A and B are shown apart, each in its own frame.
Chain A
Amino acid sequence: MAKSGVSRRQFLAASGALAVAGVTAPALAQAAPRVVVIGGGFGGATAARAIKAAAPGTAVSLVERERTFTACPFSNLVIAGLRALPAQQFGYDKVSAAGIDVVFAAAIGVDREARRVELEGGASLPYDRLIVAPGIDIRWDGLAGYSEAAATKLPHAWKAGEQTLLLRRQLEALEDGGLVVMSVPANPFRCPPGPYERASLIAHYLKTHKPKSKILILDAKDTFSKQRLFQEAWKEFYPDHLEWVALSQGGRVTAVDAETKTFITEFGEHKAAVGNVIPPQRAGRAAELAGAVDQTLWCPIDPVTFESKKSPNVHVVGDATIAGGMPKSAFSANAQAKVCAAAVVALLAGRSPSPPKLINTCFSLAGPGYGISVAGVYEPVNGVLTDVPGAGGVSPAAAPRSERAQEALYAEAWFNTITGEIFG
């Protein structure tokens, strides 16, 4: 009996311990925090890897539709025939190898109450914190006459891939003497200097392969990024091959006709042999699903954590954000993602995120081997990411050619570093 009583106490003690363990073990397992990232570009893939590196105990899922990422920076060289598209393309094998659950699927909903991302096919991913890095979507309602069907005639090539190749093929097929027309939207849009780099490189292609042709830029703005530097290069290299029409000169395109490749402005019509419409844009769809988009169609964020001002526990990085002075660039997306990742790790650990400082550097090519840059340093001031006074700015005007060559070299080094850090 006594023996039996001891046994019973031992049993009770043991079962008590088991009961505690039984409760505790799953609680600990549940406590392993879960982060879901939607979008596997410069922002999203960076965020996923930065969180996994800083807090390996975090379960990180990366939701991305495409198995191959096609980078936009340097894709203007592909359009000009100076680079092959595969040099722009990266897979997710190393992202997976870093311990990130890469899910190739489209997110079709975000249940913000239950904190769950719903995927096509019925699966769902629970999260403690969601990071949305959807990039931009084209506003198909943003320009009269432009549509997904029209983009097969008048490519935008503002998301790299098939559209890039389509514009390239059209330029190759262009008869010498044919007019190339590009329309540029009002701010904000992805990659502010991008249209002018593209126009420069197309002008270079025309000058070397179709010397009787030229490119006409119809712009909805009177000023643009790195303007003085681009115009200096245009005057030197492409006086006969590139013409820029500013807003005040009637440059704003109000409608296009895809069948006849006609660009309509308030002052007239321009019929193109090859037309490139850089259309109005908005935050990518996943930001809308996550409830992070405001009436501007972009995402207001807290500049310390990149948490959405509209949707708690949802963070947004990259082109989709309203990021104060920071432009919509791959460098910005990468820098923001690293700050956001540190903040998410801190918040999940119950710590306060530190106020950040961020850098942006954007290189553009005004021709092969001719690089120019803009840089900025940013910190939160009154809730807005603000330029640190006295820092940043563009490359000097009238710089020696060796400095342009050096910046072209750094541009390529930047691309190799950032893509290597993210996808390698």
Chain B
Amino acid sequence: MALTLLGPAAAGRAEPPQGASSCTGCHALNPALVTAIPRLPGHSAAELAGQMQAFRNGQRPSTVMGRIAKGFSDREIEAIAEWYAAQK
């Protein structure tokens, strides 16, 4: 019981996959924060993964995102995209 209470289910969202928690350094989770850097929730997983892949292969020009996206595999990108798509 105690273990269940502490588990991620209690938090109402699954633990973020590898790499995902770093994103909120720039991309706010808090919907009240409006900056020049877009929030990730509110987009579909396909859209988020597609953008990351476009950053990674240079199809979408970027300042810093290309350099970051190159550090992630397709599988990691998909897991991160699915997690953010599931956030409110």
Contact = CB atoms under 8 A, between A and B. Distances in A.
29 contacts: A28-B1, A335-B21, A349-B6, A354-B15, A354-B18, A355-B18, A357-B22, A358-B22, A361-B26, A373-B64, A375-B67, A376-B71, A377-B72, A388-B71, A391-B71, A391-B72, A410-B26, A410-B36, A410-B37, A412-B36, A413-B37, A417-B27, A417-B35, A418-B26, A420-B28, A420-B30, A420-B33, A424-B30, A424-B32
What are the 7 tightest A-B residue pairs by CB atom distance, in nearest-first order? Answer: A377-B71, A391-B71, A359-B22, A413-B35, A357-B19, A338-B21, A413-B36
A230 interface: no
Interface string A384-424: 00001011110100000001001101101110111011001
Contacts of B71: 357, 359, 376-377, 388, 390-392
B58 interface: no
B1 to A, nearest CB: 8
Given A375-B68, A377-B72, A390-B71, A417 B23 contact: no
A331 interface: yes
A361 B21 contact: no
A16 interface: no
A410 B18 contact: no
Contacts of B69: 391
Contact of B2 (A31, A346, A357, A417): A31
Best-surrounded residue of B11, B33, B64 (most CB of chain A within 10 A) = B64
B64 A416 contact: no
Interface of B: 1-3, 5-8, 10-11, 15-16, 18-19, 21-30, 32-33, 35-37, 63-64, 67-72, 76
A355 B6 CA distance: 20
A58 interface: yes
A407 B63 contact: yes
Interface stretch (A48-56, A184-192, A259-267): A48-56
A358 B18 CA distance: 8
Interface string A356-371: 1111110000000000
A57 B26 CA distance: 28
Contacts, number: 137
B6 A55 contact: yes
Nearest to B27: A417
A342 B22 contact: no
Contact of A54 (B5, B11, B24): B11
Contact of B6 (A53, A348, A391, A418): A348
A142 interface: no
Interface of A: 28, 31-33, 50, 53-58, 331, 334-335, 338-339, 342, 345-346, 348-350, 354-361, 373, 375-377, 388, 390-393, 395, 403, 406-407, 409-410, 412-414, 416-418, 420-421, 424
A393 B69 CA distance: 12
A334 B25 contact: yes
B37 A414 contact: yes
Contacts of A420: 28, 30, 32-33
Given A56-B10, A357-B71, A391-B67, A416 B22 contact: no
A403 B22 CA distance: 23
Contact of A418 (B5, B11, B16, B25): B25
B35 to A, nearest CB: 4
Contact of A390 (B6, B22, B63, B70): B70
A358 B76 CA distance: 12
Given A56-B11, A354-B18, A357-B76, A417 B37 contact: yes
Given A31-B2, A359-B22, A406 B63 contact: yes
A57 B71 CA distance: 35
